[in-house]
Structure 1
Amino acid sequence: MKNPPDGWPRITPAVFYDDAGAAIDWLASAFGFEVQERIENEQGQVVHPQPPFSRVRSSCRRALMVFTVLLSASGCRTDRSHPPEPVSIVERDSAGVRIIEFGLNVWESRPTWSVSTDPRIELRGSNRSDVSESDRAAYEFFDVSGLARLLTGELVVADNGTRELRMFGDDGRYLRTLGSEGEGPGEFTDLAFLDIIRGDSLATFDGHLHRITVMDPRSGGARLVNSGARMATHLLKDGGVVWEERGGSFHHGAWSDSVTVVRTGSDGMTTDSIGVFDGTEFFYTAGTVYVEHRPFGRQFRTAARDSVLYVATGDQYSILVFSARGHRTAILRGLFATRPVAAEEFDDMLSMWISDSRDPRRQTDLEKLRGTKPYPDMVPPHGELMLAATGELFVQDFTWRPDEGQVWRVFDPSHRPRATLKTPPGFRVLYVDELLVGGVGMDEYGVERVMFYEIIRD
């Protein structure tokens, strides 16, 4: 906790105002406060005042501190269950942790980015004349789990269906394949994700074999790191690893696990504890084969790059920011009302899951979830988290319909709202850098297509 400024008490009495606007006028009149900035929402409620300390008598500064902190945090006492949405960003400090609060309307004053009408790069063999018959299979993808772009501009696709890493030039021309299915060095039984570490080394995690593979993209040489029971979720450029250990046992009905997040250093030994968090919500019915994610249930999500880790538990729009050593440094908090889950959309989501499943046993299990009450308390506040190569955090607006275009809220490296990015319908984003957004779509035959669109930053 930070020490108070010199001359300030450690315990400060406080008064809440029913009418914050009237309080500002009275304090200005009685004590000579000069309000430098006064931000109100659409209802006329004060959400942030900024009176300068230097222009008031020193005997009044303690009262000014109380005034500023209380109004910044609460505005007024009208309705605490639905806090007013600020028209601007409110940033404050709490024991050394930056708290950045914002409402949905903050995005109205931020630019909206789009993507090019046509992909800048499309990994598709049928529209290329320089592809041999033997190489055409390299353009057929199934269950793509990760995309990466090397410093040379070369593209890497993690194809979990074939357990391969396929490399392409920056013009989309197929170059070579690394790895194959198996349990030996350079072989995989699962490709959970794909990262780039230490320059241009490729790093993947095999969730079935519980091991990390670090591979040279030129020679294909591989180094293995066993993980034990832990699941690697992020491989950092300095060689560090973010791990998750999940606890709890499933039972009948809705339940959630707990997640312990730790980080190990490049030596594989130094361990920094990030914390223990509420995990993802699941649903299980006695006599069924599968444990399912709870429709509209809470989901635990993380994103990491270099020396920063973002954690979201999904129970509200609150994203925690940690340093590489596990110190909480900031909180991104969205101040807007939640929406309850409607019975119709609950059933619609189940119908989509049933239609997409090719396993008759799972289809039967999913049918048993219809009408299972109570529904989750609210529609999830957001979807996926993704960190761009630029250090920007992309937070997806929640959507469960794949045919809808995705909306991503972009935060700059200092964690402040920066822009909104809209991507095409049916496009699953897996990679973002300053120029390109890469992901997977489906062609007219239901075959996966890997595409990279140019980002138009208005």
Structure 2
Amino acid sequence: MNRCASIALVALTSAACVQERTRVPAPRAEIRDSAGIRIVENPRPPEGSRLAWRIGPEPLVSIGVLEGEEAYMLYGALDATRLSDGRIVVANRGTNELRVFDASGTHLENWAGEGEGPGEFTSLSRVEPWPGDSIAAWWTRTGGISVFDSDGNYGRTFRLGGNDEDPIWLAPRPESATRAGSVLATWRWRDADTIVVHLRDGEGDLKARLGTHPGPEYHLTPPGAYRFDLWEQIFGRRLVHVPWGDLVVIGRTDRYQLRAFRADGSLARIVRRQHVPRPPERSDIEARIEEQVSLVPLEWSPEEIERYQADVRRGYRAAPVAEHLPALDSVMADALDHLWVREFESPADDRPGVPWTVFDPEGRVLGFVETPEDLKIYEIGSDYLLGHSGNELEVESVQLWPLER
């Protein structure tokens, strides 16, 4: 057992991850080529079936305490990544530090910190692997990306177009880093309902245009006490995107179709999976509104919370509702180039575990996998999940879970 209480293994047992699985052969995909584009049509895996992959009943490492040494008290741990030697780097936005822990979760050192100088941050948001066992970290306020080597030495900072003096909305927003050292970026003109997707090189220059895609749809209401007047459609579409091997996947949540682009911007593959749309019921809508209402800062007084929640309820109940529930929630790719698609679950549903559909590197569906219910996954390795548990109302922890394929 490690010397720090924060490294104690936390038994967040997920019944869905250890339940008996119905093992079935992988569904058979239909594959065809059309004008140089490979189209993969997949059936939906059988209801209740699971891949013969196993996620352990508890994390191997859990970093985070309510009280104790400062290094283990996380606040706003928005992202994390694992280096090749097993060290875990946590982007702790509350202190704008990159906190580094060894493979067992013992704190080693901090990189960067609060400030506006080279290698410092004002609003740290992401940390991702970068070629050469380095890492890239970026912050939202100015859109800068800083590169550090595996020893934490600051290398350089670059921005995705524009000048440092320009407003952030004039420059593309970094979203993900690719293995080749490019940056997947998006750009939207203020509150437009379309999103432009770029691939930028390691200097921030445009490498390829990946198209203009439908984004969230908004609804205007008269401003309330908190002056919220712009609301997303309830269960409305969102854009999803992720690097996938040498490709970049782009899709939208209102349909089960993912388009994979090459690094030159050309379309290489379309992956689809059978999905039957379901109209939202009143219980789905009310549960979504209450989900949004529950997100309030801890430091607010009861009166402030009451006014805020009344405003949010008023705004959402005036907002339009999508005709169907989303077809999917989000997408990720793992270290072995499998594509993981998180299934959409209504807030009204109360199910243990989070279901994902897993596709092989060619886009053929393999089956369902369930991950721990309270784990927000940051990274999927060949034999692990790295993610975050907790929120501002609970103790935050960054956890490493074992994955057996």
Same fold, TM-score > 0.5, yes or no? yes
Residue 413 of structure 1 corresponds to 361
Q: SS of 2:71's equivalent?
A: helix
- Residue in structure 2 matching 1:148, options 67, 73, 81: 81
Closer, same or farther: CA 444–224 of 1 in aligned 2, 3 Å = closer
Aligned equivalents of 1:150 and 1:368: distance in 2? 46
Are 1:383 and 2:329 counterparts? yes
Aligned equivalents of 2:91 and 2:56: distance in 1? 24
Provide TM-score, normalisation by structure 1. 0.72
Aligned equivalents of 1:223 and 1:383: distance in 2? 35
Aligned equivalents of 1:444 and 1:215: distance in 2? 29
**Deviation larger for 221-230 or 381-390:** 221-230
Runs of 5+ unmatched residues, structure 2: 1-25, 163-170
Runs of 5+ unmatched residues, structure 1: 1-85, 128-132, 250-255
Are 1:275 and 2:275 counterparts? no
Aligned equivalents of 2:314 and 2:366: distance in 1? 43
Residue 80 of structure 1 corresponds to none
Residue 377 of structure 2 corresponds to 429
Are 1:351 and 2:290 counterparts? yes
Q: Quick one: higher RCO (CA 8 Å, sep 6+), 1 or 2?
A: 2
Residue 167 of structure 2 corresponds to none
Residue 57 of structure 1 corresponds to none
**Deviation larger for 180-189 or 152-161:** 180-189
Closer, same or farther: CA 284–222 of 1 in aligned 2, 3 Å = farther
Specify the code of the residue in structure 1 equivalent to 2:384. L
Aligned equivalents of 1:444 and 1:157: distance in 2? 17
What's the CA shift string for 1:323-374, capped at 9, x where partnerless?
1111111111122210011122111111121122236465343111343364
**Deviation larger for 317-326 or 438-447:** 438-447
Specify the code of the residue in structure 2 equivalent to 1:102. N
Structural mapping, 1:315-334, within 5 Å = 315-334=254-273
Are 1:231 and 2:177 counterparts? no
CA contact (8 A) 1:283 1:294 kept: yes
Q: How many residues align?
A: 359
Residue 449 of structure 1 corresponds to 397
Residue 250 of structure 2 corresponds to 311
CA contact (8 A) 1:301 1:313 kept: yes
Provide TM-score, normalisation by structure 2. 0.81
Question: Which protein has the bigger helix share?
Answer: 1
Deviation at 1:320, TM superposition (A): 0.6
Q: SS of 2:328's equivalent?
A: coil
Structural mapping, 1:75-224, within 5 Å = 88-105=28-45, 111-124=51-64, 136-224=69-157
Aligned equivalents of 1:160 and 1:403: distance in 2? 31
Aligned equivalents of 2:66 and 2:281: distance in 1? 44
Aligned equivalents of 2:392 and 2:120: distance in 1? 32
Are 1:295 and 2:241 counterparts? no
CA contact (8 A) 1:199 1:237 kept: no
Aligned equivalents of 1:180 and 1:187: distance in 2? 5
CA contact (8 A) 2:284 2:346 kept: no
RMSD: 2.6
Deviation at 1:292, TM superposition (A): 4.0
Please say which structure displays the higher CA radius of gyration: 1
What's the CA shift string for 1:177-226, capped at 9, x where partnerless?
11212222222122332211112211122111121111224143141112
